[in-house]
Chain A
């Protein structure tokens, strides 16, 4: 039995558009319950200190205060974590950054809770702090965690870099750095925790990864997983940012709910969020490249240090993605890459759209332009000479058995942007004008889904009701990326129904088994495959029931136009609804659960090699800028962005993802930095932490490339994160083309372009 998937590759209206546009969507902050208490957090007063005593008696006595909890009240594990169990929702013996909590209060109103927080007295013994990851790795650095400050060291080894450098005509060494940035989702973190009558602790809120949060809450509160239920409210943006920090809120609010037997709302103000929630890792990157005079790369040696902040969070995984991709999408016969993640007393760092790629892409793509410059080659030609092609072998020794389209992306994008002409024309025209034009490009390859980070599997449930309407449930989350729409489209395609017939149920850990996190741009390829399987399984049952009535073999039956019909004979048909009723009356099960596991991959951590991901995507972005060299102002005039998504199930959503990723990267390239001085956050709200406005984002030309992949539903791979990893490098390259100035540190703000250094000079800056 087949379907008519004509809806694939079209852009129906988003299934969640109406509720969001009309304001009826219920976000975490909209939740109210009878008897609900409000929680506030007593935060650490030093970035690194031992807690000597906490006095809560005065706070407890305040009228309207229902409970004050400290680490001593935690019934389960004192901490949680993805790999290293080090993140303490309430600090017990030691605080490690200013976002740590030492106590949490629940009161009748937020104002009372705040007053109570002020009445809590904490005595500390201040400890010397470490705020630079390179300092943290020195043997005499103060220890932030007992096992030392090294979170992780990953490596990649291929060939022999000694041999590679020996073959080179030139060796080029450069250092780059990237900054700490904030997700700046419009909705800050919020949860409501309450107990169901059966004793289940429910935590509803702005969750990205519900099952991670459930594990953390169950572990810390000493509950079985079956007694913790995580429900996602409509989410006001996440970008990787609502994972560990939501687990922290869930543990704090959950503990108070257990203590008071009342619903608890805990929400972060923007200031709390800027200090407490994790950020994107700052990186310090040193690259050494051997190259022949004809432009052939012979070897790369890379050393990177990442600032993990106070807790490990996703540092192991973020840096692993970096170590796999650090050379960029190039044929490099000899590779030696080392990356170190270190604890500091800064706000911890974790998942952020891109996940270890925007940092390295900025470095290696700036570097490719620098090398091309040294060789007197055009940056495009230099790349085309070295980029990976079909059946090439990556830096980790993986042979690429799919269509390797980075060359195509480069060619398509440069053609669209008028590259050759502008590279030649702008320098000539710039001679006579104040505002300098420049054009720069960046390209990348990116492993799709989790790769060898861990098990990559997820499930979906499709239920056909007697009236022909359909429920769809998965464990993955809508965050604005369009997942509900894409998944609904897949079900509609397989069942031959209009998309309006598909109801995407809210995401709730009690309705489906753990299908992993909504991360790594994995939802379409992994989740979409599971959804498709579940829809096909449901359709097969329907087809079997209809086949008998229509007097045709099941292989001849198709689902199309809300009918179950005989292929090539549309008169012999029953409506979808009739077929459903028939099947149910016959005692058939029209609910199907399907599970999809990613194809096999492997990684040898000891030897630093492996088939890291089962497939890759490729992209290229070009930025055309106008630079005022006197003020340092960079105007991004136009961006051309080409991404190979395998197959665009919903092209408008793909274009939306591309535009969003480019805007994020423009902020990363030009504006954004969470300024911290000795562990203290200086940018405390969005008037000081500047993200791009509509005025700052130029025209974006989204170009969709489609080389279907055998592992994806309908050939689809992913879009999401690659769109955010390229533009900062493209801008830096364009600025250099315009002005001749190479800037190796992000962001390229006004002062850096004019004076060559950043806004606030940090202490302990090494270079």
Chain B
């Protein structure tokens, strides 16, 4: 494999290079997926544009109740971040379960999104946090709600001239709770068979609102709207949780592939939800 390597010195330069329209160009961030794809000959890029030097794409900040993650923030940084642990727990939990320490330290949150794998662990967490993705090109910037970002397996709406620069979402408030749970075949370094994330607002023991997202069950991460509607306005009584798990399993309608069967995934999507909710009840 042979390719040209370019390192962008600034965001402006990176966007200029992207605007040239070189179809053989691929962006190098952590490289944990990209290099494997090159090795497996799934892609053979002519140019790798290294964006690791772009300061604009780094850092974790909170302002006016919103949290901004630079696209280059690693899973390891997120998993170890105190602010996020307090205000974005599902994301912290999900990033802490990605791959191995080595992969977490190299792999970036922006990379995890643009790879658009339905089993990308950060994605269900960002769904339930109500995240938005900022895409920037030489001609401007657009902000896309995360649920509109993905269009299929390994497919998303980003244009070749755009760079994913940041992800923002509202910080969780004192009444908000959340979790991320996943199942893999082994305890570490295992791609999810199924994962479930949820964020809910709980007042006086009643669910005021809830978002649930299921990973690795379909071609993209999916929300569970019927389960969400059922839970809204209810307390987290055992029978409510049982029914929510049943509904969630029913609307998961998962696929069968090398990592698991649809039947198992459906059941587990509901179970993981129930287990997460039980802890909050």
What residues of chain A have their CB less than 8 Å away from a CB belonging to chain B? 111, 630-633, 635, 670-671, 675, 682-683, 687-688, 690, 692-696, 749-751, 754-755, 759-760
Q: Is the CB of B260 within 8 A of A696?
A: no
Given contacts A631-B183, A675-B258, A760-B261, 12 further A-B contacts (CB under 8 A): A111-B2, A631-B268, A682-B258, A690-B185, A692-B186, A694-B188, A695-B188, A751-B264, A754-B264, A755-B264, A759-B259, A759-B261
Nearest CB of chain B from residue A430's CB, rounded to whole Å: 18
Chain B residues, Cβ within 8 Å of A635: 187
Chain B residues, Cβ within 8 Å of A633: 183
Task: Knowing A630-B271, A687-B191, A750-B193 are in contact, say whether A755-B185 is a contact too (CB < 8 A).
Answer: no
Give the residues from 1 to 45 in chain B that come closer than 8 angstroms, CB to CB, to chain A.
1-2
Chain B residues, Cβ within 8 Å of A754: 264, 267
Interface pairs (18), CB distance under 8 Å = A631-B271, A632-B264, A633-B183, A682-B258, A688-B258, A688-B259, A693-B187, A693-B189, A694-B188, A695-B186, A696-B188, A750-B260, A751-B260, A751-B261, A754-B267, A755-B264, A759-B261, A760-B261
Q: Is the CB of B185 within 8 A of A695?
A: no
Q: Is the CB of A750 within 8 A of B1?
A: no
Residue of B nearest to A667 (CB): B186
Chain A residues, Cβ within 8 Å of B187: 635, 693, 695-696
Encoded as 1 (CB less than 8 Å from any A CB) or 0, chain B from 167 to 207 comes to 00000000000000001011111110100000000000000
Chain A residues, Cβ within 8 Å of B188: 693-696
Chain A residues, Cβ within 8 Å of B189: 693
Chain B residues, Cβ within 8 Å of A675: 258
Nearest CB of chain A from residue B108's CB, rounded to whole Å: 19
Residue of A nearest to B271 (CB): A630
Majority-rule SS of A interface residues: loop
Chain A residues, Cβ within 8 Å of B258: 675, 682-683, 688, 759-760
Q: Is the CB of A749 within 8 A of B1?
A: no
Residue of B nearest to A691 (CB): B186
Chain A residues, Cβ within 8 Å of B259: 688, 759
Chain A residues, Cβ within 8 Å of B190: 690
Nearest CB of chain A from residue B193's CB, rounded to whole Å: 7
Task: Knowing A693-B188, A750-B193 are in contact, say whether A111-B1 is a contact too (CB < 8 A).
Answer: yes
Task: Knowing A750-B264, A755-B261 are in contact, say whether A696-B186 is a contact too (CB < 8 A).
Answer: yes
Give the residues from 263 to 279 in chain B that come closer than 8 angstroms, CB to CB, to chain A.
263-264, 267-268, 271
Nearest CB of chain B from residue A116's CB, rounded to whole Å: 15
Nearest CB of chain B from residue A432's CB, rounded to whole Å: 16
Complexed CA–CA distance, A749 and B185 (Å): 7
Residue of B nearest to A675 (CB): B258
Complexed CA–CA distance, A754 and B264 (Å): 8
Chain B residues, Cβ within 8 Å of A670: 186
Residue of A nearest to B272 (CB): A631
The 9 closest A-B pairs by CB, nearest first: A695-B187, A695-B188, A693-B188, A751-B264, A696-B186, A690-B185, A696-B187, A690-B186, A630-B271
Residue of A nearest to B183 (CB): A631
Complexed CA–CA distance, A751 and B265 (Å): 9
Complexed CA–CA distance, A111 and B41 (Å): 12
Q: Is the CB of B183 within 8 A of A750?
A: yes
Nearest CB of chain B from residue A41's CB, rounded to whole Å: 16
Most chain A CB within 10 A, of B2, B183, B258, B260, is at: B258
Give the residues from 237 to 266 in chain B that come closer than 8 angstroms, CB to CB, to chain A.
256, 258-261, 263-264
Complexed CA–CA distance, A683 and B257 (Å): 12
Complexed CA–CA distance, A694 and B100 (Å): 12
Nearest CB of chain B from residue A209's CB, rounded to whole Å: 31
Chain A residues, Cβ within 8 Å of B186: 670-671, 690, 692-693, 695-696
Nearest CB of chain A from residue B136's CB, rounded to whole Å: 32
Nearest CB of chain B from residue A678's CB, rounded to whole Å: 15
Chain A residues, Cβ within 8 Å of B264: 632, 750-751, 754-755
Q: Is the CB of A755 within 8 A of B263?
A: yes
Complexed CA–CA distance, A688 and B261 (Å): 15
Residue of A nearest to B261 (CB): A751
Complexed CA–CA distance, A695 and B187 (Å): 6
Complexed CA–CA distance, A442 and B185 (Å): 24
CB-contact partner of B260 in A630, A683, A687, A759, under 8 A: A759
Complexed CA–CA distance, A688 and B36 (Å): 14
Chain A residues, Cβ within 8 Å of B271: 630-631
Nearest CB of chain B from residue A746's CB, rounded to whole Å: 14
Complexed CA–CA distance, A751 and B193 (Å): 10
Nearest CB of chain A from residue B261's CB, rounded to whole Å: 6
Chain A residues, Cβ within 8 Å of B267: 754
Chain A residues, Cβ within 8 Å of B261: 751, 755, 759-760
Complexed CA–CA distance, A751 and B256 (Å): 12
Nearest CB of chain A from residue B116's CB, rounded to whole Å: 18
Complexed CA–CA distance, A682 and B186 (Å): 18
Encoded as 1 (CB less than 8 Å from any A CB) or 0, chain B from 207 to 236 comes to 000000000000000000000000000000
Complexed CA–CA distance, A694 and B2 (Å): 36
Nearest CB of chain A from residue B241's CB, rounded to whole Å: 13
Residue of B nearest to A747 (CB): B185
Residue of B nearest to A687 (CB): B191
Complexed CA–CA distance, A635 and B187 (Å): 9
Complexed CA–CA distance, A631 and B185 (Å): 10
Most chain B CB within 10 A, of A632, A693, A759, is at: A759
Nearest CB of chain B from residue A114's CB, rounded to whole Å: 9
Chain B residues, Cβ within 8 Å of A760: 256, 258, 261
Complexed CA–CA distance, A631 and B261 (Å): 13
Chain B residues, Cβ within 8 Å of A694: 188
Residue of A nearest to B1 (CB): A111
Complexed CA–CA distance, A682 and B257 (Å): 11
Chain B residues, Cβ within 8 Å of A631: 183, 268, 271
Residue of A nearest to B264 (CB): A751
Nearest CB of chain A from residue B244's CB, rounded to whole Å: 15
Residue of B nearest to A752 (CB): B264
Chain A residues, Cβ within 8 Å of B263: 755
Chain B residues, Cβ within 8 Å of A687: 191
Most chain A CB within 10 A, of B1, B185, B260, B264, is at: B185
Complexed CA–CA distance, A388 and B263 (Å): 46
Nearest CB of chain B from residue A67's CB, rounded to whole Å: 23
Nearest CB of chain A from residue B165's CB, rounded to whole Å: 29
Complexed CA–CA distance, A687 and B267 (Å): 24
Chain A residues, Cβ within 8 Å of B256: 760
Nearest CB of chain A from residue B259's CB, rounded to whole Å: 8
Complexed CA–CA distance, A670 and B186 (Å): 9
Nearest CB of chain A from residue B184's CB, rounded to whole Å: 9
Complexed CA–CA distance, A188 and B2 (Å): 24
Most chain B CB within 10 A, of A111, A683, A694, A696, is at: A696
Residue of A nearest to B185 (CB): A690
Nearest CB of chain A from residue B262's CB, rounded to whole Å: 11
Complexed CA–CA distance, A725 and B108 (Å): 42
Complexed CA–CA distance, A695 and B185 (Å): 12
Most chain B CB within 10 A, of A682, A683, A692, A695, is at: A695
Chain B residues, Cβ within 8 Å of A671: 185-186
Chain B residues, Cβ within 8 Å of A751: 260-261, 264
Complexed CA–CA distance, A692 and B184 (Å): 12
Complexed CA–CA distance, A695 and B188 (Å): 7
Chain A residues, Cβ within 8 Å of B1: 111
Complexed CA–CA distance, A214 and B172 (Å): 68
Residue of A nearest to B275 (CB): A630
Most chain B CB within 10 A, of A111, A682, A749, is at: A749
Complexed CA–CA distance, A695 and B271 (Å): 23
Residue of B nearest to A686 (CB): B189
Nearest CB of chain A from residue B191's CB, rounded to whole Å: 7
Complexed CA–CA distance, A760 and B191 (Å): 16
Chain A residues, Cβ within 8 Å of B2: 111
Q: Is the CB of A750 within 8 A of B185?
A: yes
Complexed CA–CA distance, A632 and B194 (Å): 13
Complexed CA–CA distance, A760 and B188 (Å): 22
Chain A residues, Cβ within 8 Å of B268: 631
Nearest CB of chain A from residue B32's CB, rounded to whole Å: 11
Complexed CA–CA distance, A633 and B256 (Å): 19
